[in-house]
Chains A and B, each alone.
Chain A
């Protein structure tokens, strides 16, 4: 075997602390090394040409490059090797920069170490096997989980590119939180007006299969080849018959048993309902928990009034499976509420704000509904307790957010903006009203964002007080808000008619369970983790699963939409080729040795180890052994380290190769 060694100076990065010519010279003497040379910039064009030329001229079988981290240029050198006719997996990189020159200052010792590192790689490359990339077929369909603005945008982008989409939404209608908002910052355009056309577009799109009132139960498979089990919850209304006339809703005698969650519990809804008038699809749902029929089998008024015989009390949940190649997570957020929390919760409630016992202390989404023309007060500012117009409103920012003592380390990002918007909307309608905002900092980065906050302060006269509120109490229908004005250095007490809390954005309560179902990592708050915070913010670490919107971290509408389009683009990149090429660095079970203990299956973080039957010619199962699914395996090597009988090998990193490397040290 003829091996070529190429030592890179990396300008001065390696050359300053490692005597590169000496390393090259020393490596010449190593058994198997045919040629060993150093060069200023091995990754440059002339550097790569040098490698190619040496491979061809000296008829090399394998090469070792002593350079920067393989993360940086392994691909570059493999490409050069392939161009000269060598299998890319017969290229080894010795990291002489991050692992050597950058961390040492003694030239003598660093040079010795560099020689040692190269010697190890030479021993390994001698034992390397040529590997070929794995090809996996791709199902060119996308599953979008969540039908809020992020999910809608992602679904439309993928569908408009010509690929089929399955959009799953757990609520009876798509639209998400954006459909609840009154106006949107920083332009104050009506949220419904810009959102509902998109909702309809999704509904009518020939490439989108919309599944509302549905949840993802199971995800199997791997990038390009997922099988998803979706549970379509029973609406008790036959979707094929219902015309959405709403007769059942108006005639339902249950009026005040269930809170309307779309109105953030500020109003009631009947037992049969659509979440809001512009719901898509406009098909009601019967709530079993309050419907009289499910209590005693009586009532049935809805059955009588429905002209289409669409009411079906016996309807059951339906289980549907879908084959998709990519998954876009767009499950959004929830608002934290200040209620007392169970002891095991990482969050704590606000006892000092009364744990939510005061009716006129509302959160941001409740205030959106109060401000909304379609809300319970039809857009008039009336406080929940007595429907009186509040003349003084105190807005408190950072309730939860950035409050470590309540379990939050993060900033919810959107509250500075929406609080300014709330105060502005209030001042626009109640001219003699006073609006106070308690803030910690104003974080209004974004196009026309700071201008918007300034407008609230300067044009609309919203009074901003820098400081925290220590306590809220009630006194004869007034809310006594005690806080500190840290700029004046004085305690301050405001008697308000209403208090609006900008409570933190938190992950959906079932986000972590869903993440486990889909197989993606999430942080301690339940937000899904991106593969790299800067360079791969859209991808999860699981191949083929992408993230969009506030399920990854708190985000406003423009950011969610941008991320959704990016996630759609990522799915389309995947669909750009018919076969998926994967690195062949995957684990392989040696079937003859495997005893079927499945220790590997327990430790595999990607669920890539499957159970296979070993069957004789007569069809008798003689044993069960482990099998690694190449599509799922990420080549981490955990199974190979765990296997007690050494019967799993990681291609490119097998025991022989690794031990030879160690022995050469």
Chain B
């Protein structure tokens, strides 16, 4: 099986390990990626709040390239990319005038409907039984808080995927690895997102609340599916530690990394060693088992 792939900028930079682990996991599951050639920015964070036309054109350019490349599906592992692509696609479908405008900018016409998928939808498409079949080890003693963030499931009428307030699809995937999941309150809370640079104080406050909530509900690990969330939740723990002496580090993994571990790969292979908060499955599992 071949699936279209739109990496997005994060996958080539801050979320290098997300890209790495994703490709490895996909390969293990017998799927390969057909990367969109000459892909560009999805328009996230700045374009869609400043220039509506530009935002739609940027997002749809990538969808158009996928279409021209003969792809039926297109996976955007970054939640922000996914959200931009499906939102623009929705607007183009709903409003003929926007469609005409985008087509005139791109100097070509849409011929078919490329299905844009997020990470979870990708695994659903590949088939959950593939994960079970290829599982090399059972990830015992992990209590995982699945974090969806704001963009993966919202707005519900556009994403038409899982529940916007009480999602459960990621839990279902995580439990395939043998890990346990916890029921907690901040699954869809905001991590502060792009304020990471300009208003770091907000991000520290919001992200710490999320991490604290996960700990309070008995989790020993958090799993995410968004590079922006990961930056805030993992990297910003350095500052949390500095500002709050009592603060205890908490590992945050990409969903793909967790799946990779279950499929038999090690931390280094999956790029987990690149994280700010260090994570070694064996150590954490042993520690938890001892308690």
Contacts and interface: CB of A to CB of B under 8 A. Distances in A.
16 contacts: A340-B163, A340-B166, A350-B165, A351-B163, A351-B164, A351-B165, A351-B166, A352-B165, A354-B166, A355-B165, A355-B166, A473-B185, A474-B185, A475-B185, A475-B216, A480-B185
Contacts of B164: 351
Contacts of A352: 165
A483 to B, nearest CB: 15
Nearest to A480: B185
Interface in A229-255: none
Nearest to A354: B166
Interface string A332-376: 000000001000000000111011000000000000000000000
A179 to B, nearest CB: 35
A407 to B, nearest CB: 13
Interface of A is mostly: mixed
A473 B164 CA distance: 15
A391 to B, nearest CB: 22
B191 to A, nearest CB: 16
Interface of A: 340, 350-352, 354-355, 473-475, 480
Contacts of B166: 340, 351, 354-355
B126 to A, nearest CB: 25
A568 to B, nearest CB: 46
A355 B216 CA distance: 22
Nearest to A357: B166
Contacts of A354: 166
A480 B213 CA distance: 12
A354 B166 CA distance: 7
A351 B185 CA distance: 12
Nearest to B163: A351
A450 B113 CA distance: 57
A-B pairs, top 7 by smallest CB distance, nearest first, are A351-B165, A473-B185, A351-B166, A352-B165, A351-B163, A355-B166, A351-B164
The contact size tier of chain B is under 10
Interface in B156-184: 163-166
Contacts of A475: 185, 216
A475 B184 CA distance: 9
A355 B166 CA distance: 8
Contacts of A480: 185
Nearest to B217: A475
Contacts of A474: 185
Contacts of A473: 185
Contacts of B163: 340, 351
Most chain A C-beta atoms within 10 Å of own C-beta, residue among B163, B164, B165: B165
Nearest to B186: A473
B160 to A, nearest CB: 10
Nearest to A353: B165
A354 B185 CA distance: 10
Interface in B132-178: 163-166
A354 B163 CA distance: 11
B148 to A, nearest CB: 12
Nearest to A343: B160
A12 to B, nearest CB: 48
A186 B165 CA distance: 38
A475 B165 CA distance: 17
Contacts of B185: 473-475, 480
Nearest to B184: A473
A354 B165 CA distance: 8
B219 to A, nearest CB: 14
A350 B163 CA distance: 11
Contacts of B216: 475
A355 B165 CA distance: 9
B69 to A, nearest CB: 33
Contacts of A350: 165
A360 to B, nearest CB: 16
A449 to B, nearest CB: 35
A474 B164 CA distance: 18
Interface string B178-215: 00000001000000000000000000000000000000
A355 B183 CA distance: 14
A480 B212 CA distance: 15
Nearest to B164: A351
A474 B166 CA distance: 14
A339 to B, nearest CB: 11
A624 B166 CA distance: 60
A475 B164 CA distance: 21
A336 to B, nearest CB: 17
A351 B165 CA distance: 5
Most chain B C-beta atoms within 10 Å of own C-beta, residue among A351, A352, A355: A351
A254 B198 CA distance: 64
Given A340-B166, A350-B165, 6 more contacts: A340-B163, A351-B164, A351-B166, A354-B166, A474-B185, A475-B216
B202 to A, nearest CB: 13
A340 B166 CA distance: 10
B164 to A, nearest CB: 6
Nearest to A474: B185
Contacts of A340: 163, 166
A355 B185 CA distance: 13
Nearest to A350: B165
A495 to B, nearest CB: 13
A471 to B, nearest CB: 8
Contacts of B165: 350-352, 355
B65 to A, nearest CB: 33
A484 to B, nearest CB: 15
Interface in B227-246: none
A458 to B, nearest CB: 36
Contacts of A355: 165-166
A70 to B, nearest CB: 45
A473 B214 CA distance: 13
A395 B164 CA distance: 24
A235 B286 CA distance: 62
Interface string B242-268: 000000000000000000000000000
A350 B216 CA distance: 24
A40 to B, nearest CB: 56
B70 to A, nearest CB: 33
Nearest to A340: B163
Interface in B117-131: none
A352 B164 CA distance: 9
A400 to B, nearest CB: 15
A340 B164 CA distance: 11
Nearest to B160: A343
Contacts of A351: 163-166
A395 to B, nearest CB: 21
A475 B186 CA distance: 12
A340 B185 CA distance: 17
A472 to B, nearest CB: 9
A503 B137 CA distance: 48
A475 B183 CA distance: 11
B186 to A, nearest CB: 8
Interface string B36-65: 000000000000000000000000000000
A404 to B, nearest CB: 13
Most chain A C-beta atoms within 10 Å of own C-beta, residue among B163, B164, B166: B166
Nearest to B153: A351
A502 B239 CA distance: 43
A199 to B, nearest CB: 42
A493 to B, nearest CB: 11
A350 B165 CA distance: 8
